[in-house]
Amino acid sequence: MSRSSDTGERALAGFPFVDTDDAVVARERTSALLIPHDLEVHRGLLPFRAVHRHAALSTISFHYLRYEPEVTMTCPLTRWFHLLLIPIAGLCRIGIERRRIEVAPGQCFVINPSMGIRLHLIGNCEVLFVKIPSIEFSSRITDSYNAPASSSITFDTRRAVASEACGALVDLVRWVCCDLEHVTPVSLLPITNSGVEDLILETILSACPHDLKVSMTRSKVGVVSQIVRRCEEFVEAHAGDPITIADMVAVSGASKRTLFQAFRDYRGTSPMAYLKSRRLERAHAELESADGSECTVSQIASAWGFGHSGRFAKEYRAQFECKPSDTLHGKPNPGYSGIPDTLGDG
């Protein structure tokens, strides 16, 4: 009987569920735990063998599945859960309606609840599945995508997710499966259990294309520009006051994560870095108009929220390519053009 030499052979080795040469037993037990399916065995020179291992965190579960030599699983609608599929040896060919998608090791694919499929596992195929209740995605996409609380999510099934996009996700899932083998797994500690699940779910949402990325992009410019504009107006009115990130979150009307993403998308920076840059602009303008015989650089820096004169001088020089004292005493400015208005006038 063949044995895989891939590291996947050891995945979830401490969590056996099925190891059988009986196709009926394999289908019944895997249907009950992973996904209901019919199983067609492609007979060849090698005997049939099925291995299924299983471990679970709080809400999501991990499944290692290996069939020898080759089988086809015909699966109806999953209805209430998504399945993340990660081949680690062999080849997985997915049939959806009239399309055929090949998923190779290093790639991944998400099976949606509304999807009936055929999985053709080729070449002593080894696969990791992550089974995720769809409600777990719904509870996160409101915050991540400004979507309504009742929103569902459908992942793109036109092609496999390329290794360049999902490499970190594949590594993360394999790390969790490896970690579960430890005597005291980090993944199962009460403090980190939900954190590991959150990380997996957020990484799937980031790595795997889905309809909310498309639909939210259509309205994103208007929504996010308003988030950024509200913060910009607040900064313009209170640049000299002690402003915290909590203040900017409150003013924006968005979550902290959404606020940071909005500034990354439309300013290429963070909210607090933007605040610092605007304070430097204000200090620069005052240094240009001030009388150097009546005030000092430190006084102007302090008025705009910079308590450490040395750090202010360094940050000022990085932004304006000159010393603040040069600006105060009227030396030529190298021609700093200011912060571009990347959002336009809207």
All domains of the chain in start order, with CATH:
7-209 (2.60.120.10), 216-272 (1.10.10.60)
pLDDT of 341: 46
Strands 16-20 and 49-56: antiparallel
pLDDT of 5: 39
C-alpha to C-alpha distance for 272 and 243, rounded to whole angstroms = 9
Q: Which of 84, 213, 77, 217 is nearest to 153 (CA)?
A: 213
Taking 50 as the pLDDT cut, the residues of the chain under it are 1-7, 216-221, 335-346
pLDDT of 329: 81
Query: For the chain, what is the largest distance between any 2 Cα atoms, rounded to a whole number of angstroms?
Result: 95
Query: Residue 301, SS3?
Result: helix
Average pLDDT value for the chain? 84
Question: Which tens digits make up the pLDDT trace of 54-103?
Answer: 999 989 999 999 999 899 999 988 789 999 999 999 999 999 878 899 99
Q: Return the number of other C-beta atoms located less than 10 Å from residue 293's C-beta.
A: 7
pLDDT of 66: 95
pTM for the structure as a whole? 0.62
pLDDT of 8: 58
pLDDT of 220: 47
pLDDT of 331: 66
Question: Which tens digits make up the pLDDT trace of 241-272?
Answer: 889 999 998 888 888 888 888 888 878 888 99
Strands 81-96 and 117-133: antiparallel
pLDDT of 263: 87
